[in-house]
Amino acid sequence: MINIKEIEKVKIKALEKKYPFSIAFFENNNLNIDGYDEYTFEEYLNHFTEEEIEEWAIDIEKIKIDFIAYMNEMLTFLGIEEEDGVNSLTIIAGNNKYGEKEEFESLTIHKGEIVSIVGPTGSGKSRLLADIEWTANGDTPTERSILINEKEPDKKWRFSSSNKLVAQLSQNMNFVMDLTVKEFIELHAKSRLIQNEEEVIQKIIDAANHLAGEQFNLDTPITSLSGGQSRALMIADTAILSTSPIVLIDEIENAGIDRKRALNLLVSEEKIVLMATHDPTLALMADKRIVIKNGGIHKVLKTQEEEKEVLVELERMDKIISGLRANLRKGERLKK
Amino acid sequence: MNLITISGPPSSGKTSIILKTIHALHERDLKVGVVKFDCLYTDDDIYYKKAGVPVKKGLSGSLCPDHYFVSNIEEVVQWGRDEKLDVLITESAGLCNRCSPYIKDIQAICVIDNLSGINTPKKIGPMLKSADIVVITKGDIVSQAEREVFASKVHSVNPKAITMHVNGLTGQGAYELSTLLYDEKEDVETVKGKQLRFSMPSALCSYCLGETRIGEDYQMGNVRKMKLGDEND
């Protein structure tokens, strides 16, 4: 932990050298430090005139408090990556929306495992996902509890914004930023304080192209990516760059990506994957599936041998369909 | 009574978030009321009424909205007490992005949305920087990476705040937010004598007094000129 007394006396130049990420704080708070290298942090804060303070809505005391909070969180964040991660997630039964006890005792999901969630729309999937995100402790409407590594989780998972338990891949993969693929990944890497940016960027684009039907490169604007390419990029990015150990997927659509590879990529990055789906192929790819009814977990089913055979059949059909699709694209006649 | 001040740019999803959060507070049998501050128009009061929430609205019209807020807040608090509310929420749309109606010792929440652009956290002043809780909305529309980047920008301008994602449509996260809003031990009787967290922008020029003509001859009071010479290049 650093404190304001130490930091105040340090020159801006030295701050930048010792803690490169401190620069983002100045940038994002519109604090121009150009030409103030030789000032100490305190001298820098004191150089503003009354007028500037009012004009730009600067609150010196708040900046000091925020800066220390920011620095300490970033330092902890950098440290955390060396810590032991999340190895398992346990859901302990609560109630459904009629107040009846859920029909399972507890379910533990380990790193590298995939669990699918099935059930009608509006049956309570969002609530389950929210319970996990919030690391519920009997204090949500379902009264479920969540354990991490079989222990009551640290409260940091609830409130820390730099250290989230859950990454969520939704069906919507729109981009609102106007950037190239490279700039986009770079921005994300910067926000995660990644050291070996170039290497990570290359890894993500390779993985994304491995999933996508059509290839794209680093100079492609993200807004011109096709639906499949966007999904591929997002899955690769989440697998490789997101620090969240649990990934919630809201139905990966069939269009344009290799879904089996996508799941394998997420699992190979040692994440716990929970996937809401209506698609039998995806549901059977999971090791287990949670059936939701009336806002509660109705059943937990282990994927059976017979179902695995159904999966083989489904995959064979998928292959036929994607073959036909490829031929259609090439402008060929379709044969029986 | 607990008093909560919520503000955020127009259309960031404040009303949806508040409605979903009130739903969770109602489940705990708490009585919640809302006072909506706006500038020219709002029909949000209809949504609140529909949800069975006592509501008052105030339109600032030709006045600076946050000046209007601070001139009325004490009366608003007394209304809430007369209504025997457990929680009184004020909602306002810090229209110039500099304003903030937050009061020292009163919980302050800023709502901003993922669609507003990556540099928005930089553009918003005390309304974002001095909030206790920052709620980020519309996360379902953007990608996971964009959510992470946006949240990290918010975090760097207000590292002390609790930053959370709430979905105004499905309500995901609203229950969680509601748990942070009510404290049994807290009881605000008055805000008289309390202080704003930050001073509001000042003007007092001839245009404040109704002048409409353009040109230096008509400008008096607090007037500042842009630098349009070489020094501003």
pLDDT band for A249, please (50, 70, 90 cuts): confident
- Tell me the shortest Cα–Cα distance from A257 to chain B, in angstroms: 17
- Euclidean distance between CA atoms A192 and A200, whole angstroms: 12
Query: Does position B232 have pLDDT exceeding 70, yes or no?
Result: no
CB spacing of A140 vs B176 below 8 angstroms: yes
DSSP states along A24-47: HHHHHTT---TT-TTSBHHHHHHT
| Whether B23 contacts chain A with CB within 8 A | no
The model's pTM: 0.83
Q: In which residue are the tokens 């995806």 written?
A: A282
* In chain B, residues 167-186 whose CB comes closer than 8 Å to chain A: 170-173, 175-176, 179
User: Which chain A residues are closer than 8 Å to B179 by Cβ?
Assistant: 139
Q: Alpha-carbon distance A91 to A300, whole Å? A: 11
Contact B143 A59 (CB under 8 A): no
- CA-to-CA separations, B77 to A143, B32, B126, B130, in angstroms, rounded: 34, 13, 23, 21
Q: Which two tokens stand for residue B113?
A: 């949305």
Hey, which residues does A284 pair with through a beta bridge? none
Closest Cα in chain A, distance from residue B141 (Å) = 6
Which of the residues B98, B115, B155, B227 would you substitute to probe the A interface, choosing the one with the greatest number of A C-beta atoms within 10 Å? B155
Residues 51-80 of B with CB under 8 A from A: none
Say if residue B40's pLDDT is above 90: no
Collect all residues of chain B within an 8 Å Cβ-Cβ radius of residue A52.
none
b/e for A281-299, b at 16 or more Cβ within 10 A?
bbbbbbeebbbbbebbbbe
- DSSP letter assigned to residue A251: -
pLDDT > 70 fraction of chain B, expressed in percent and rounded: 98
Above 70 in pLDDT, residue A83? Answer: no
Residue A79 has a pLDDT of 65
Please report the pLDDT score of residue B22 as a whole number.
Answer: 96
Measured between alpha carbons, how far is A318 from A147 in angstroms, rounded to an integer? 37
**Cβ within 8 Å, pair A24-B170:** no
Question: What is the model's pLDDT at position A82?
Answer: 47
* CA pair distance B10, A69, nearest whole angstrom: 29
What residues form DSSP beta bridges with A116? A275, A289
Neighbours of A84 (CB within 10 A): 7
User: Which of A295, A257, A149 is CA-nearest to residue A282?
Assistant: A257
CA distance B173 to chain A (A): 7
ipTM over 0.85: no
Report the pLDDT averaged over residues B81-93: 95
Cβ atoms < 10 Å from Cβ of A265: 21
User: Do A161 and B155 lie within an 8 Å CB cutoff?
Assistant: yes
Q: Assign residue A27 a region (left: φ > 0; alpha: ψ between -120 and 50; beta: otherwise).
A: alpha
Chain A residues near residue B145 by CB distance under 8 angstroms: 184-185, 188, 234, 237-238, 241-242
Token pair belonging to A300: 């937990």
